Amino acid sequence: MSSTSVAKAASATVAKVTATIVGNAGAIFSTTFPHAPTATKAADASILDPSHPNPVKFDPSRLGVLSAGARSSELSPRASPFALPIASSRQSRAKELQGTSSNRANLPFYCQTDPIVLFIVQASLIVFLSRILAFGLGKLRQPKVISEVIAGILVGPTALGRIPHFTTSIFPAPSLPFLNLVATIGLVLFLFLVGLEVDFSVFRRNFRASASISLVGIAIPFALGAAISVGLYDKFVDESKVKFGTFLLFIGTANGITAFPVLARILTELNLLQDHVGVTVLAAGVGNDVVGWILLALAIALVNASSGIIVLYVILCAVGWILILWFVVRPALVWACRKTGANGDRGPGEGLVCAVVFLVLVSAWVTDRIGIHAICKFSRLLKAASSKTNCAIAIRPVGGFVVGLIVPTPIRASITEKIEDLVSVLFLPLYFALSGLKTDLGLLRDGSIWGWVICVCVVAFFGKFLSCGIVARFMGMNWRESGAVGSLMACKGLVELIVLNIGLSAGILNNQVFAIFVTMALVTTFATTPLTLVFYPLSYRLQRDSLNKGIPTISSDDLAPPSLGTFRPSSRYAVILQQFEHLPALFTFCKLVKAPLQFTKLSEKSEELPPAPQVTIDALRLVELTGHISAIVNASDSQETLVAADPLSQIFKTFARGNGINTTAALSIVSLEQYPSLVASHALEHSSDLVVVPWALKDQKDEAGVIAGFLPNPFEGIFRKNGVADTTSPQYAAFVRRVFAEASTDVGLFLDRGADSTTSISSGRTHLFFAFHGGADDRACLDFIVQLASRNPGITATIARIVPAPEATAEDLGTVKNSTSLSDDERPPLATLTVHAGAGAADTIYPTQHDLASETADAIALAVWFEPSATPRLPEIVDGLSRIEIVTVSTVQPLHMSVSRAEASAAAHDAPLVVVVGRGRRDAKTHTKELNDFLRSRIEDVKKSIANSSEVRRSLGDLAVAFVVAGVGSSVLVIQSKPPGSSKSRNA
């Protein structure tokens, strides 16, 4: 006890004593003792007097002040002038330590005047939990919103809230206004982003089908929701608090709405944004979303209105504000974009973005004032409503959605990129956490309630599924496409949760009904992706596209050896565009397959050499879908718009057409996991003879800064190997391996050294080197070299047929370094190389037996081109073969001899050297042991190259790894032949 002051008020017959006690913790105890019979006995009165009951008790309503029947005037420091200095100094400290009604020890982080510490704890817990769940549910191809909603439910009374003191410590009631403020601002910005996603041009392009699906898809579910609202109202709702008409309108709206943002993400994840089913669903979702928000605004206006005139006032003011935004603000934004040049590549500047964000907040304030979502305003006018209304939402999100609709299209993606990460990473999980704190699934505690849960889920799903699916069937879609439309339109997701929270805050829903509909939203959203894949799988889409586009299937005749008289060079190639650094490799490839102008003119003068078939390159531009709203906005554009706006595609098309090559371009925005399958389908769609995947070869360099050089990191060895940082090579190698595995055509990996090469291929003259070891891949290389030589008169080639020998031959002496002579102690350990577990591709290799059938096929392939034949060859083939030199080399070390011969060929020719090599992972002889010896002998070169990664070594193959490490040639072309027969091998 630090201080006690006593004030006495005496009359002729009575005495009254008031005691004020200030404790060490800063709490103030104040009490008035009963009147004593006489003034003299008042001095004996004590707080510890056993004759009196303890008058000190806790009053929760006074936020930490303890009183026993004293009036507010008596609780003031003025009641005891002696206690005034001490009491005044303690009051601020007492307020800081207050927080719960039971125990301040449960608030280790909270301080009312400085709540940032507790906010950081809350946000960290929520974001961490949602990210962990997103990682697991992402494997099931579920949208991220599912994990955020479940994380919010887990931190509420359903799960973690049942732990003693968890809620009072982490989410105490005094801290919720701060959390609610941040979450509501995030909700305003998120619905602004949703408005940016809405593209009415998509709706107009598919008006007939999308309008029918949208209207029927909201009318029938609304009617079914209205029907089921009768039973819910009788079972769960207090008639004195909520009118039945308002409840019916809200349940019908919640039952008929479709979650447009989640729907767009699912369509993007399934690569359906460019599919006619996806386009139709997206357009129908636009109409459904707008109508749903209008009905929601009407429901909120009805629940807050005391009379019909207020409802009319709200609607007219809302329409007026929307007209102001459309006819006044929107033209002003268009003018500002044109004036500042925001429509171009530079995008909107800081001033324009600031104006748009400020407009979002102003619109939210205006819609709050006029009554859309105006829960607090009219509840103050209605005493009945004040008891049932929770004014938890401080800034109204509807205004943000309206502003998103009127932002000019050219700047939508740029503005989205600037704010979407903060909203999706922090704000939305906080909003769902607040929703989870209100959700107690424990209220669903008996069979009758779960019967209503099942009934609501069935009505919500089948109302959407059947109505939209049947309309789609009448619009000409087959049963698979109609089933996909119905499954996608049944998605509830994020918008449904927002609607439900609005209903709970407005007092339309109680906690039990809220929990029922939250469960329904989770179930319907979770079922969307699996059902869509069941009705509309990728295999069906590929087969349908193949039939519609007339893509030929692969037959055994296509795999037969080329006829001597009818063989024509391949003329159609598919190339992959991903990064700007890949352009030099693709430019080099274009120079190989198309003869330069001077050679073309010479060939046209000769009647012996008719012009070769026109070369066509079908470029596929791959853009990663990052999950950002801006990426989804871009992905929904047409192919022509996407390609025209992509600088990488335009640069390549310009170069190829400048060299006389017919070029087409397509752009796809998909996830990284879908890249290989998309490449394979693109090659099939265009009947490509060869798929070319570029790779820019760069030496790995240590990029440590100056500070890192003086202050070494003791943990650096965990993340870096031998001082060389692992870059994107392993991930890109995993992509290449999957392309090798999934493609049903020949695949060529073109590795280019770029500016580091000492010679240039721009002169038009190129020398090819190829070491023929045998196998299907080497036979494909042989055919490709003949094709290039017959097409391009500037190409010469050297083919070294490598024949294994049982012991060292004359060719081995003085030419090949005998690394096997090194002792095991002298050999550098291979453990110093980086080992990767295989980023996304199975660590398997093709069988390497080289049986009699393969050897026979090798002999036939060589005889077709280099043995005299009675069948006349085409003139261009004869001309091409005349520039190819073939030699046979017998050696005990085939890999070392191949590298040595390539180095000799590079020294003997002034033209740039391109090394052509078979991947050799199907039916070729293995070189694993010899490669290990080769890598040990050049361990320093290995550390500086991409071959430092085991994932890269598996992707390239043994021979290609040796050529890359040796640094032979300006480029290396690794070829894998198409799988035998009509079935593809899935091992890579």
- pLDDT confidence of residue 450: 93
Report how far residue 295's alpha carbon sits from residue 866's, in angstroms, rounded to the nearest whole number. Answer: 79
Report how far residue 98's alpha carbon sits from residue 81's, in angstroms, rounded to the nearest whole number. Answer: 25
Report residue 637's pLDDT band, with 50, 70 and 90 as the boundaries.
low
DSSP-assigned states of every residue in 946-971: GGGBHHHHHHH-HHHHHHHHHT-SSE
List pLDDT tens digits, range 460-507: 999 999 999 999 999 888 999 999 999 999 988 777 888 888 888 878
List pLDDT tens digits, range 711-750: 555 655 555 544 444 445 778 888 999 999 888 889 999 9
Local structure of 750: helix, strand or coil: strand
* pLDDT surpasses 90 at 112: no
- Name the token pair of 733: 């190698």
Share of the chain above pLDDT 90, in %: 18
* pLDDT surpasses 50 at 26: no
List pLDDT tens digits, range 961-974: 999 998 888 899 99
Tell me how long the chain is: 988
List pLDDT tens digits, range 905-941: 888 888 889 999 999 877 777 888 888 888 888 888 8
To which residue do tokens 């010679």 refer? Answer: 759
List pLDDT tens digits, range 507-551: 888 889 999 999 999 999 999 999 999 999 877 887 776 666 554
β-sheet bridge partners, residue 4: 21
- Name the token pair of 831: 């453990």
Tell me the backbone φ, ψ of residue 957, rounded to 5 degrees.
100, 165
* pLDDT surpasses 50 at 317: yes
- pLDDT confidence of residue 499: 84
- H helix or E strand, kind and range, residue 622: strand 616-624
Alpha-carbon torsion angle 144, 150, 156, 158, nearest 10: 180
* pLDDT surpasses 50 at 867: yes
What does DSSP say about strands 616-624 and 690-696: parallel, antiparallel, or unpaired?
unpaired
* Secondary structure, 3-state, 707-743: HHHHCCCCCHHHHCECCECCCCHHHHHHHHHHHHHHC
β-sheet bridge partners, residue 664: 618
Task: Taking residues 585-600, report their average pLDDT.
Answer: 76
- Name the token pair of 515: 């929990």
To which residue do tokens 């005391």 refer? Answer: 306
Cβ(893)–Cβ(930) below 8 Å: yes
Cβ(757)–Cβ(912) below 8 Å: yes
User: Which stretch of 58-62, 630-634, 689-693 has the lowest confidence by average pLDDT?
Assistant: 58-62
To which residue do tokens 């607090």 refer? Answer: 376
Local structure of 847: helix, strand or coil: coil
The pTM of this model reads 0.68
- pLDDT confidence of residue 126: 92
- pLDDT confidence of residue 755: 52
List, in sequence order, every beta strand (DSSP E) within 499-539. none
Q: Which of 264, 198, 263, 260 minimizes the C-alpha distance to 635? A: 264
Report residue 409's pLDDT band, with 50, 70 and 90 as the boundaries.
confident
Report how far residue 394's alpha carbon sits from residue 391's, in angstroms, rounded to the nearest whole number. Answer: 7
- H helix or E strand, kind and range, residue 231: helix 207-236
**Contacts for 556 with CB less than 8 Å, ≥ 6 apart:** 981, 982
Cα 72–Cα 77–Cα 81 angle in degrees, nearest 5: 130
Q: Which of 889, 888, 887 minimizes the C-alpha distance to 897? A: 889
Tell me the backbone φ, ψ of residue 360, rounded to 5 degrees.
-60, -45
User: Which stretch of 295-304, 766-775, 812-821 has the lowest confidence by average pLDDT?
Assistant: 812-821
β-sheet bridge partners, residue 890: 803
* pLDDT surpasses 70 at 88: no
* pLDDT surpasses 90 at 23: no
β-sheet bridge partners, residue 6: 19
* pLDDT surpasses 50 at 563: no
Residue 650 neighbours by CB distance under 10 Å: 14
User: Would the CA dihedral through 468, 469, 470, 471 be positive or negative?
Assistant: positive
Task: Taking residues 413-424, report their average pLDDT.
Answer: 86
- pLDDT confidence of residue 840: 46
Q: How confident is the prediction for the chain on average, in pLDDT? A: 75
CA distance from start to end of the chain: 79
- pLDDT confidence of residue 246: 83
Residue 552 neighbours by CB distance under 10 Å: 9
What does DSSP say about strands 57-58 and 66-67: parallel, antiparallel, or unpaired?
antiparallel
Residue 349 neighbours by CB distance under 10 Å: 14
Cβ(499)–Cβ(424) below 8 Å: no
CB contact burial 259-270 (16+ within 10 A = b; e otherwise): bbbbbbbbbbbb
- Name the token pair of 188: 């305003």
User: Which stretch of 88-92, 343-347, 595-599 has the lowest confidence by average pLDDT?
Assistant: 88-92
